[in-house]
Chains A and B, each alone.
Chain A
Amino acid sequence: MGSSILSIIYLIGSVTFILGLKMLSKPDTARKGNLVAAAGMSLAILGTIFLYRVNDAPLHNYGWIFAGLAIGGVIGVLSAKKVKMTAMPEMVSMFNGMGGACAALISIVEFDHIIKLIKNLYAPVTDDHLVLQLLETTASRGIVVIILLSLIIGAVSCAGSIIAWGKLTGKVKDFSFGGQHFLNLGVLALLIGLSVWLTVIFPTAPATGSIIFYVIFLLALFYGVLFVLPIGGADMPVVISLLNSFTGVAAACGGFLYSNPVMLTGGILVGSAGTILTILMCKAMNRSLKNVLIGSFGGGATGAAAAGKEQGSYKEISLNDAAVVLAYANKVIIVPGYGLAVAQAQHACHELEKQLEDKGVEVKYAIHPVAGRMPGHMNVLLAEADVPYEKLLEMEDANAEFPTTDAVLILGANDVVNPAAKNDPASPIYGMPILEVENAKVVIVNKRSMKPGYAGIENDLFFQPKTSMLFGDAKKVLQDLLGAIKEV
């Protein structure tokens, strides 16, 4: 009876995951979709705790289980509630790493279980039931392969996510050295080799098998670090999305291990949807996944651009002049980018917008699909600052409005307004759709310095006669602008 109810619960859980993902991919239903999936998950978890049977016996250790759930739940809610909107990507990365770690830990326990059974085989066996179980175990190399898959993928995902988190928070610097790709391939080959070896020898040499198993675990962690380390910080969203689908696959391995359909569907769904999402993200940036992973993009392009052509000179604009330009414009379009997110300037930006509106200026925002560190990042940030949704223009609409715009204020965006994407077939970002800000009458660019954006290429826009630069941290500049406009 209990088991039949549990299988129905798992069926419902799987369906809610599918529906949830489906709803999450449409703006109108997204929030409900998240709740649907969460409800299914809660049901599946509760069902497992109370109805799962091992050899017809219910689960025990309830104290431990509920303590774990309570501790994890409190940490999860607190960290999710407290995190700033700008720090979303690294938070997701951290959660993802924990899922990966969870999968790896499960593998460790399950492997230990198998090794113990085999060791008992060599001890005098008295229990017939045990003998049966042992024969079954030694025959199931397939199970060990699944355990290894779950261990390796989970560990890579965990270590990789932590490095990605470190990069986004600035705690880990980009780091690459010559021959790194070879080292990575070498470690990967070693991992596969050891896994095959372990699968062959473990039934006859359980002691050696355990040692190899832990070596594989450490190597997988090491590989996760190596895998993410050379990839540029700006590409982290793509990497996180990829690691996300890894963890999905690791969870699915767990589903295979326990013949648990809800883990299997949930894991594989995330695995495949995550992979597609990763590819979509790359597409939005007009890059290939290979490019991101090998990470040659930034380095190679800088050299080419530097050798390519002589850059002209740029001109700076003072705060007061900028204030006058903005205050006397009829229509201003603000182009937010990563600089705005880093400086957490979304509220100051909204203040500026309100102040300009009070002066009768029409203010809108032009949102490039990949502005910021993650697609949709800017929408989330500006929504947090209560910027009305109607003010946010999608790229096509914004491009239609630039010719009638008096002033464009660019806040820490770079590559998404680089005309090279349209004009220069040799440019690495050629073909990427951009915001055509140069069609406006005046362009004011706020940046911290003349350093190129993450694509690592110079931006001709900054050297055009109608462009002027306003250097400084976005938040500080916006606050100063507020004061200056007040006095105009």
Chain B
Amino acid sequence: MEYILSFLHQHIDLIYIVILSVFLGIEVISRVPSVLHTPLMSGANAIHGVVIIGAIIVMGKAEADNYLALIIGFLAVILGTINVVGGFVVTDRMLEMFKGKKK
């Protein structure tokens, strides 16, 4: 119990970010027209590609003889990049088609 409390205390600033972000996320998109559901989902998909940063850190601190970290990290960087780049490009392509829409 004491351990859990001290863990929470140690990371309290991160926990604040988590909780505030939860509410922010709900607030930000609660009034979205259904036409935009697909692009919004795709855009959000690209944003969680931020996990690529973790992959870069793994890769960047791996020692030269740690093949597990190197290989898996490399794979993670590739997959994460596909997620980010593909996600944003696909979203842009979808939204491009809405262009004639504004009146």
Contact surface of A with B, Cβ cutoff 8 Å: 13, 17-18, 20-22, 24-28, 30-31, 33-35, 37-38, 41, 44-45, 48-49, 52, 54, 59-62, 64-65, 67-69, 71-73, 75-77, 79-81, 83, 85, 88-89, 91-92, 95-96, 98-99, 101-103, 105-106, 108-110, 112-113, 141-142, 237, 240-241, 244-245, 247-248, 250-252, 254-277, 280-281, 284, 369-370, 374-377, 379-380, 383-384, 388-390
Contact = CB atoms under 8 A, between A and B. Distances in A.
A374 B36 contact: no
Interface string B26-63: 10111111111111111111111111111111111110
Interface in B70-99: 70, 72-99
The contact size tier of chain B is 35 or more
Contacts of A102: 49, 51-52, 54-55, 76, 79-80, 83
Q: Which 3 A-B pairs have the closest CB atoms?
A: A72-B81, A59-B60, A68-B77
Nearest to B3: A141
Q: Is the interface of B mostly helix, strand, loop or mixed?
A: helix
B6 to A, nearest CB: 9
A275 to B, nearest CB: 8
B34 A376 contact: yes
Given A18-B24, A76-B82, A65 B60 contact: yes
29 contacts: A13-B50, A18-B24, A18-B28, A48-B53, A59-B60, A65-B60, A69-B77, A71-B81, A72-B78, A77-B85, A80-B86, A85-B97, A92-B41, A102-B76, A109-B73, A250-B51, A251-B51, A258-B54, A259-B11, A259-B14, A260-B57, A264-B18, A266-B50, A268-B17, A270-B25, A277-B29, A376-B34, A380-B97, A389-B100
Nearest to B50: A266
Contact of A261 (B17, B22, B90, B99): B17
Contact of A81 (B11, B29, B89, B101): B89
B72 A105 contact: yes
Name which of A142, A250, A258 has the most chain B CB atoms within 10 A of its CB. Answer: A142
Contacts of A25: 28-29, 31-32, 36, 40
Name which of A68, A88, A261 has the most chain B CB atoms within 10 A of its CB. Answer: A68
A368 to B, nearest CB: 9
Contacts, number: 387
B66 to A, nearest CB: 8
A72 B82 contact: yes
B57 A258 contact: yes
Contacts of B59: 59, 61, 64-65, 68
Contacts of B30: 276
B7 A247 contact: no
A59 B56 contact: yes
Given A41-B50, A102-B51, A271 B17 contact: no
B1 interface: no
Given A52-B60, A113-B69, A277 B40 contact: yes
Interface of B: 3-4, 7, 11, 14, 17-18, 21-26, 28-62, 64, 68-70, 72-103
A50 to B, nearest CB: 10
B17 to A, nearest CB: 5
Given A263-B54, A375-B38, A49 B93 contact: no
Contact of B76 (A106, A263, A388): A106
A61 B54 contact: no
B3 to A, nearest CB: 7
Contact of A98 (B17, B32, B82, B94): B82
B51 A256 contact: no
Contacts of A13: 50
A341 to B, nearest CB: 12
A240 to B, nearest CB: 7
Nearest to B42: A92
B51 A267 contact: yes
A369 B34 contact: yes
A45 B99 contact: no
Contact of A28 (B21, B43, B61, B102): B102
A248 B14 contact: no
Nearest to A252: B18
B32 A48 contact: no
